[in-house]
Amino acid sequence: MSSFIHHVLVSLLICVLWQEPTLAIKQSYIVYLGSHSFGPNPSSFDIESATNSHYDLLGSYLGSNEKAKEAIFYSYNKNINGFAAILDEDEAAKIAKHPNVISIFLNKKYELQTTHSWNFLRLESNGEIPKDSIWKRSFGEDIIIGNLDTGVWPESKSFSDEGMGPIPKKWRGICQVDNQNQDKFYCNKKLIGARYFYKGYLANNGKGLKNVSFNSARDFEGHGTHTLSTAGGNFVANANVFGYGNGTVSGGSPKARVVSYKVCWSPESGCYDADILAAFEASISDGVDVLSVSLGSFQVEYYETGLSIGSFHAVANGITVVSAATNYGPYLSSVGNLEPWVFTVAASTIDREFNSFVTLGNNKTLKGASFSEMELQPHKMYPLISGADAKYDNASSKDALNCTGGTLDPRKAKGKILVCLQNQDDCHFLCRTNKGVEAARVGAVGMILANDENSGSGIQADPHVVPSSYVNFIDGSYIFNYINHTKFPVAYISKVVTQMATKPAPFIAFFSARGPNPVEPTILKPDITAPGVNIIAAYGEAISPSEQASDKRRTPFSVMSGTSMSCPHVAGLVGLLKSIHPDWSPAAIKSAIMTTATTEDNTGGPILDSSLEKAIPFDYGAGHVQPNRAVDPGLVYDLNATDYMNFLCARGYNSSMLKLFYGKPYTCPKSFNLKDFNYPAITILDFKVGQSINVTRTLTNVGSPSKYTVLIQAPQEFVVSVEPKVLSFNQKGEKREFRVTLSFSPKSKDKSDYVFGRLIWTNGMNSVGIPIALNNPH
């Protein structure tokens, strides 16, 4: 070996031996310790003691309480017991072994559930309440609805407190502003409170995004204003978007008090576990009745996310938590927010459409969706070109067909109507409006969005910056075929028109996530479906309706789609029911809405999916919400904290974990079958050939004394029997148990993986129905 090579090797060896030790990577974690032992109204001493106990626990691992104070950025010290801290992986692993630690998990990021109004109470054209409305006596003025989202635009007319009485005495929250209130954010007797939570976001993003203000609950994204006003916005006459959909708009509980809990700081950065958990804890202390949570979730065990833990504690304190089913449809087991204590809402259409019509040079007219403010010169035909034909020479044909930014040549597209392919799997609202921006950049006079085959019939109206129309796969295929087989293809896009009483409606939105439940299959998810497509509601005026920086338009109302929009519809209904039935538990309210839902559309046929195929309970849960029926369900399938504890026992939680989770000692029953959990659905997905299974349910009377008879719509290939067949109730609050026997009895060669039925108790006036979902062990 030469002396030179020897010298190099020795030098390298010395470098390795003297290399600085690698610093452990620090990340933000949540350490969950369960519940506090003090009651719902802790004293300042209780709160301080809880925080100090967190410092003591973490300090025992980090070497001192001072280091613990530096690491902890949230101490959950009122209702939820735990803390959020910056730790390395080894520290987290050691803390996980502490006997009082139920779980420790990373501070994960969630997404808002908009792919980006239906008047919840059907109003007459003059905006008056229908004379036969059962809601006339109560619009929930005594109810407080909280919203976890991007904040709120307090100046919106939807949050006007005109005509509102004094703030309910049960309210214990605040209207959080910075010391100088530079943002000029004010609450009133309608918007009674607001808080913002950002430490979990900062823990994962350093100094955060530029131009993001962390000292205000103001909504700079529009999403939070839209969802909160959908749940509890006041009546606003002459509400419209660019003149479309004009009428009186209101939230589900128009006179409810509303509170904003800002936990999301931008669509890109998402919303973090630590902030979500802090917001849940604040809402419990503040005294809210309902929480609307239009956030995504993770398909993990229930103690591993802030959303699961926070919602459990909220429900244990009497708060009904309503969540979005998420927008990851239409695939099986894509649903999120899987907790049995949470009310999970899918999205469906309404009987109002915003349409613009595409007329081709061969006189063929096709219907599309649009919310474009701009319009073309009436009845003038324009040259038609696909994105693929308008591409730069060095651009990908696939990217150009999708009208991806920077792929189109203005020399080819200028003055023409541009046709772009739309793939809803990976291209939602911002991606769609990006295509419109690209069309404007290259000088196109208009744009047609055409769904690919996988996206099918799922279309929504978007506020594009150019005249536009969004068509389904079949019509889009016709347009592309016309372009490819016509020497000089031309087209015209009509002005947007509002069409009412459209049929069929509702049908399940393409994007709405589907069951079955991937964490616990015996719990049917989603629970219900509600309006979530082309919803008009209040909007923040810090951002354009297209959410594009180049779009300088501002509007007090906007149209949005997503399970983010369907979730607050149900939250609003929950508020009304809570106002009328203040003694009902969250589970009773949930049952009332589920058991009175419909599985039929406005044609009298079964609810369909976006491909116009028959929808199933994995799409819509118990069915589509029917507000007027939910107020008087007759019977409910009730649940309490003990039932949820037994559920967790069956999931494998031991007594020591449950003591911490519950806040007091709890002994699991010797035997508890998840199939007997008193959920308003029967879901069994592990049937074997030749097997027969018994399940029990308990009904509670919330109506007048009555006798109910069972009706059975048995799933294909199964025999279903119920004992007893008649239930008699003599007074309110009375409970009756029944047993259902399900037996696999194949009579055909049905090869479906799943089969569905329904079990209904009726007294001639009330029909109390629940879905049956079974696997087909063919």
Q: Which residues are catalytic?
A: 149, 223, 564
Q: How does strand 236-241 pair with strand 290-293?
A: unpaired
N-terminal to C-terminal alpha carbon distance within the chain:
73
Task: Compute the distance between CA of residue 771 and CA of residue 712 in angstroms, rounded to an integer.
Answer: 10
- At position 316, the amino acid (one-letter code) is A
Structure tokens at 450: 């055409």
Q: How does strand 26-35 pair with strand 80-88?
A: antiparallel
Q: How does strand 236-241 pair with strand 718-723?
A: unpaired
Structure tokens at 595: 């058991």
Task: Compute the distance between CA of residue 528 and CA of residue 624 in angstroms, rounded to an integer.
Answer: 6
Structure tokens at 556: 């007090």
**SS3 assignment, position 36:** coil
Backbone angles phi, psi at 228, to 5 degrees: -65, -40
**SS3 assignment, position 449:** strand
Those residues whose C-beta lies under 8 Å from the C-beta of residue 180, and which sit 6 or more positions away, are none
Task: Compute the distance between CA of residue 66 and CA of residue 74 in angstroms, rounded to an integer.
Answer: 15
**SS3 assignment, position 369:** strand
Beta strands in 17-111 (DSSP E): 26-35, 72-76, 80-88, 103-106, 109-110
Omega before residue 665 within 30° of 0, cis: no
Structure tokens at 714: 């048995």
Task: Compute the distance between CA of residue 163 and CA of residue 545 in angstroms, rounded to an integer.
Answer: 30
Give the dihedral sign, CA 335/340/342/347.
Answer: positive
CB 263 within 8 A of CB 223: no
| Cβ neighbours around 19 below 10 Å, total | 8
Residue 738 host element (H or E): strand 735-744
Structure tokens at 360: 């081709």
Task: Compute the distance between CA of residue 140 and CA of residue 574 in angstroms, rounded to an integer.
Answer: 10
Compute the CA torsion angle 676, 681, 685, 688 (nearest 10 deg).
60
Residue 586: strand pairing partners: none
Task: Compute the distance between CA of residue 754 and CA of residue 534 in angstroms, rounded to an integer.
Answer: 31
Residue 655 host element (H or E): helix 655-662
Backbone angles phi, psi at 4, to 5 degrees: -65, -50
Task: Compute the distance between CA of residue 335 and CA of residue 616 in angstroms, rounded to an integer.
Answer: 14
Give the dihedral sign, CA 597/599/605/610.
Answer: positive
Buried b (16+ CB within 10 A) or exposed e, 663-685: beebebeeeeebbbbbbbbbbbb
Task: Compute the distance between CA of residue 293 and CA of residue 311 in angstroms, rounded to an integer.
Answer: 10
**SS3 assignment, position 762:** strand
- Identify the CA nearest to 574 among candidates 271, 322, 327: 322
| Cβ neighbours around 645 below 10 Å, total | 20
Task: Compute the distance between CA of residue 184 and CA of residue 181 in angstroms, rounded to an integer.
Answer: 5
- Identify the CA nearest to 621 among candidates 717, 531, 525: 525
**SS3 assignment, position 484:** helix
Compute the CA torsion angle 527, 649, 84, 564 (nearest 10 deg).
0
